[in-house]
Amino acid sequence: MWLKNITLLNFKNYSSAELRFAKTVNAFVGNNGAGKTNLLDAIHYLCLCKSYFNPIDSQQIKADEDLFLIQGDFDRQEKNEKITCGLKRNQKKQFKRNKKEYDKLAHHIGLFPLVMISPYDVNLIMDGSEERRKFIDNVISQTDSNYLDELIIYNKHLLNRNSLLKQVAVTRKLDVTLLQILDEQLIVSGNKIFEKRKQFLLDFIPLFNQHYSFITEDAEQVSLNYQSQLNEQKFEDLLNQSIEKDRILERTTTGIHKDELLFAIGDMPLKKFGSQGQQKSFLIALKLAQYSYLQKFRAFKPLLLLDDIFDKLDDHRVRKLMEMVSHHDFGQIFITDTGRERVLSVFKEINVEVTLFEVENGMIKHA
């Protein structure tokens, strides 16, 4: 699957733009703030119905304009697919596949898989465990449509149980039968999610290790570990044991909503002990593992979007990475960088042709 062209109207800092892409490597080069990342975000929007960087749709419309439009032609399983997306201020966004509007945006997600690697991914290391659970959930959801429904069900049961605990704190009476019913519902759903996450990580961790050791040539030892209270004990035992604590805190303190993905360098937390370059290598390996996982469980290769990838990586790691994504099992790639000459020399060195687009103030020149 690859994106043949894209047309933008009033998207972020673009009034209008039309680009024709190469099937292999495309690079957007230009100064800071020129609009390179905005082009990646337009591609992300077309594939996944939302911005990678900003959840507020109306802020994607160019300042002082009333609507934006993004249109692109994909080659997917040897068929042309025209995807159109439009948003008018204060209205619902519209998504069309071959001129037919989707009933539900969820039907679009997963059809045009994509992996973005961006400097913003550092949140995955620096922020709380929720970011890392979201990462796991996002990858599984793109390959298993039931998973997202199960998460919604679990969160609903969790909310009900927490409401009961709050009520008990006021009335000082616990309806044991109701608690048992809520616990049973939570246990069924929690166990399903736990099994899926466990299986996912069994498949995912070897892919991650493979990518990390390739990029860094085994320069350092890192690890990725799935931590869940359900690894240690049955969910029902956890709930029974924590009921007093839950009553005091008025919320459920055990379950898969407490799962964590531990990132370590040596035996120490990556957040505190990894250099910026090591953290970046870790995140890249994580995202490339996502790519390999999606490719394995979906029929074709996702698009790979690399935002500002060269910064903070030494030349050796940059070369290894570019060599891997260009020569190995990857499909269409989009890269942004401030240095035109750097991009040209990296790809010249590994003997890969790159199609260059020079970006300046929301305007594009095919270089």
Binding site listing: 30-37
Helices (H), 144-265: 145-171, 176-216, 229-232, 235-241, 243-249
- Output the smallest distance, CB 364 to ligand ATP, in A: 11
Q: From the list 94, 123, 185, 338, which residue makes contact with ligand ATP (rule: CB under 6 A)? A: 338
Q: From the list 2, 3, 36, 72, which residue makes contact with ligand ATP (rule: CB under 6 A)? A: 36
- Provide the 8-state DSSP code for 221: -
| Side-chain half-sphere exposure of 118, counting CA atoms within 13 A | 16
Place of tokens 């898989």: 113
Q: Does 255 bind ligand ATP (CB under 6 A)?
A: no
Residues 6+ apart with CB under 8 A from 262: 223, 224, 225, 226, 227, 269
Q: Does 191 bind ligand ATP (CB under 6 A)?
A: no
Q: From the list 336, 347, 356, 364, which residue makes contact with ligand ATP (rule: CB under 6 A)? A: 336
Q: Does 33 bind ligand ATP (CB under 6 A)?
A: yes
Length of the chain: 367
3-state secondary structure of 88: strand
Number of residues that bind ligand ATP (CB under 6 A): 18
- Output the smallest distance, CB 88 to ligand ATP, in A: 14
Q: Does 51 bind ligand ATP (CB under 6 A)?
A: no
Measured from the CB atom, the residue of 150 and 307 that comes closer to ligand ATP is: 307
Among the listed ranges 32-40, 163-171, 192-200, 279-287, the one in contact with ligand ATP (CB under 6 A) is 32-40
Give me the phi and psi of 108, to 5 degrees please.
-85, -30
Place of tokens 């750097």: 342
Does the CA dihedral 197-198-199-200 come out positive or negative?
A: positive
Among the listed ranges 53-61, 83-91, 134-142, 217-225, the one in contact with ligand ATP (CB under 6 A) is 53-61
Structure tokens, 254: 């055990």
Structure tokens, 228: 């869940």
Q: Does 19 bind ligand ATP (CB under 6 A)?
A: no
Separation of alpha carbons 209 and 19, rounded Å: 36
> Binding to ligand ATP (CB under 6 A): which residues in 59-88?
59-63
Q: From the list 35, 113, 190, 274, which residue makes contact with ligand ATP (rule: CB under 6 A)? A: 35
Residue 351 backbone class (left: φ over 0; alpha: ψ -120 to 50; beta: rest): left
Residues 342-361, mask of contacts with ligand ATP (x by CB under 6 A): --------------------
- Output the smallest distance, CB 38 to ligand ATP, in A: 4
Q: From the list 230, 308, 310, 334, which residue makes contact with ligand ATP (rule: CB under 6 A)? A: 308
- Output the smallest distance, CB 56 to ligand ATP, in A: 10
- Output the smallest distance, CB 196 to ligand ATP, in A: 35
Instruction: Write out the E strands in the chain.
Output: 2-11, 14-20, 25-29, 67-76, 79-88, 94-97, 100-101, 114-117, 222-227, 260-265, 268-269, 303-307, 333-337, 354-360, 363-366
Measured from the CB atom, the residue of 33 and 269 that comes closer to ligand ATP is: 33
Q: Does 12 bind ligand ATP (CB under 6 A)?
A: yes
Q: Does 38 bind ligand ATP (CB under 6 A)?
A: yes
- Output the smallest distance, CB 118 to ligand ATP, in A: 9
Contact 226, 257 (CB under 8 A): no
Instruction: List interacting residues with ligand ATP (CB under 6 A).
Output: 12-13, 30, 32-38, 59-63, 308, 336, 338
